[in-house]
Amino acid sequence: MHDPRMKKRIVVTGLGVVSSIGIGHEEFWKNLLAGKSGVSNIECFDSSKHRTHNGGEIKSFDPEKYVGFRRSRLMGRTSQMALVAAKLAVEDADLNIKNSDKTRIGVSLGAATGEAQVIEGIDKVWVTQGEDKVDTKLIRQYSFDNIPSNIANAFRLQGPVRIFTTACAAGNYAIGYGYDMLQTGRADKMMVGGSDDFSYVSFTGFNQLGAVAPEKCQPFDKNRKGMMVGEGAGIMILELLEDALKRKAKIYAEILGYGLSCDAYHMTNPRSEGLAQCILNAMSEADISIENVDYICAHGTGTKLNDAAESAALHKVFGEKIKEIPVSSIKSMLAHTMGAASAIEAIACCLTVKNNIIPPTINYETADPGCDIDCVPNEAREKKVNIVLNNAFAFGANNSCLVIKKF
């Protein structure tokens, strides 16, 4: 834990989003507050042999428009989305990288499946045509570490570069690492977040588990039928407060800290005690109490077990106080963007504290006594929001919670 007396102040000065409800944080935020669903019929592969056919696929993404033809064609889709989100974040932060010390700027990203469409393409050619027919360009695109490295190469950055593969909590892990790099003086600015493309393997796997809803994602609803697979990227620019003030940057929010835990319990089933410990760890790191929390951006996948465990964990941590704290899930709109999920959700948290408006949980119809929380059903809510928690819980019992504060 960082000594609160010695902590540096870390702020968010740039936001970049690529999502099924908008590219760029302005369009994303407008559609988020409107309760727009990004779930549609899958087009990137044939789902006719699956139980379900919908997901949070991005239909209007053209990387060449943002980063050029030559650069974009050298990358897989996950890297393309990450680089576009990074470019949008740099522009939003009004950050002049060309005249900056590039050895002091790093990249920290999370991904759950990495360049999934690349490896799936390799496998398809290998099986149907033989290994000698596999394009070596695809093999060079595949490696997980390519994703942050592609961003570093595009901007010629020479600071720390890291990829986290802690499944659906990876975005929060990457933001936490970037926060630590600034706290320890190993970097002055960090591009942090996550990215994952729409994966046939993930879609098939979750279908086989019976965890995918057929039509819509309904977090915390009594009749919820599962999660939805999605894709996207979210990148934030983190920097020291003194540097942000010196260059007169706009500041969205301040990062107070984060908490991690591992249940060491089950590969896929969450345990409320482990989730609760993670939230407590985050609050201790950020030096806040339950009275300070104004909003919780839930992991909220829409599965029976996950939503029940998260609700139970919140009751363990907050007791009766939880009835006064709004808790919403934007996965109801975006679907589950895997390693990008908590990164995109962190951006939503920054915009929430900046604008004092809480995004809704859409598709909510019937209250569940086992999820006795205020899930901000169906409509955005205006509320003074000072401090938010961003929850992200993953397979393998990798739990994370990020604390974000109004600046």
Q: What is the pLDDT of residue 122?
A: 66
pLDDT digit string (tens) for 26-48? Answer: 999 999 999 999 999 999 999 99
Q: Which of 217, 297, 315, 336 is catalytic?
A: 336
CA-based nearest residue to 226, from 216, 241, 238: 216
50 is catalytic: no
- The mean pLDDT of the chain is 93
Q: What is the pLDDT of residue 3?
A: 57
Range name among 117-131, 158-172, 302-316 with the lowest pLDDT average: 117-131
Q: List residues bridging with 358 in a β-sheet.
A: 381
Domains 10-246 and 256-405 equal at CATH topology level: yes
CA-based nearest residue to 176, from 193, 197, 152, 195: 193
Higher pLDDT, 202 or 347: 347
pLDDT digit string (tens) for 292-332? Answer: 999 999 999 999 999 999 999 999 999 999 999 999 999 99
Contact 109/192 with Cβ under 8 angstroms? yes
Query: Cα separations (Å) of 89 from 93, 97, 190, 193, 268?
Result: 6, 12, 11, 11, 33
Q: Which of 168, 278, 297, 350 is catalytic?
A: 168
Q: Give the angle subtended at the CA of 382 by the CAs of 350 and 343, to the nearest 5°.
A: 20
pLDDT band, residue 107 (cuts 50/70/90) = very high
Q: What is the pLDDT of residue 360?
A: 98
The domain spans of the chain are: 10-246, 256-405
pLDDT band, residue 145 (cuts 50/70/90) = confident
- Residue 2 scores a pLDDT above 70: no
Q: What is the pLDDT of residue 124?
A: 77
- Residue 5 scores a pLDDT above 60: no
Q: Give the residue carrying structure tokens 């809480």.
A: 358
d(CA 401, CA 380): 23
- Residue 119 scores a pLDDT above 90: no
- Residue 285 scores a pLDDT above 90: yes
Q: What is the pLDDT of residue 373?
A: 98
d(CA 22, CA 334): 10
φ/ψ of residue 394, rounded to 5: -130, 165
What is the 3 state secondary structure string of 133-193?
A: HCCHHHHHHHCCCHHHHHHHHHHCCCCCEEEECCHHHHHHHHHHHHHHHHHCCCCCEEEEE
Q: What is the mean pLDDT of residues 203-208?
A: 90
Q: What is the mean pLDDT of residues 151-166?
A: 95
Residues in the chain: 407
Q: What is the mean pLDDT of residues 364-388?
A: 98
Q: What dihedral angle (degrees, nearest 10) is formed by the CA atoms of 383, 38, 309, 257?
A: -60
Contact 83/115 with Cβ under 8 angstroms? no
Q: Give the residue carrying structure tokens 């806040």.
A: 288
CA-based nearest residue to 15, from 272, 237, 189: 237
The pTM assigned to this predicted structure is: 0.94
pLDDT band, residue 375 (cuts 50/70/90) = very high
Q: Which of 217, 297, 299, 401 is catalytic?
A: 299
pLDDT band, residue 113 (cuts 50/70/90) = confident
- Residue 141 scores a pLDDT above 80: no
299 is catalytic: yes
Q: For the domain 10-246, what is the CATH superfamily, name and number?
A: Thiolase/Chalcone synthase (3.40.47.10)
Q: List residues bridging with 7 in a β-sheet.
A: none
The residue type found at 363 is: N
State CA 67 to chain mean position distance.
22
* Tokens, residue 52: 């379900």
User: For residue 99, with 0-12 CB atoms within 10 Å meaning exposed, 13-18 middle and 19 or more buried, which class applies?
Assistant: exposed
Q: What is the pLDDT of residue 58?
A: 97
d(CA 40, CA 276): 34
Contact 347/374 with Cβ under 8 angstroms? no
% of the chain surpassing 70 pLDDT? 96
User: Could you tell me the fold of the domain covering 256-405?
Assistant: Peroxisomal Thiolase; Chain A, domain 1 (3.40.47)
User: For residue 355, with 0-12 CB atoms within 10 Å meaning exposed, 13-18 middle and 19 or more buried, which class applies?
Assistant: middle
Q: What is the pLDDT of residue 268?
A: 74
CA-based nearest residue to 179, from 79, 92, 285: 285
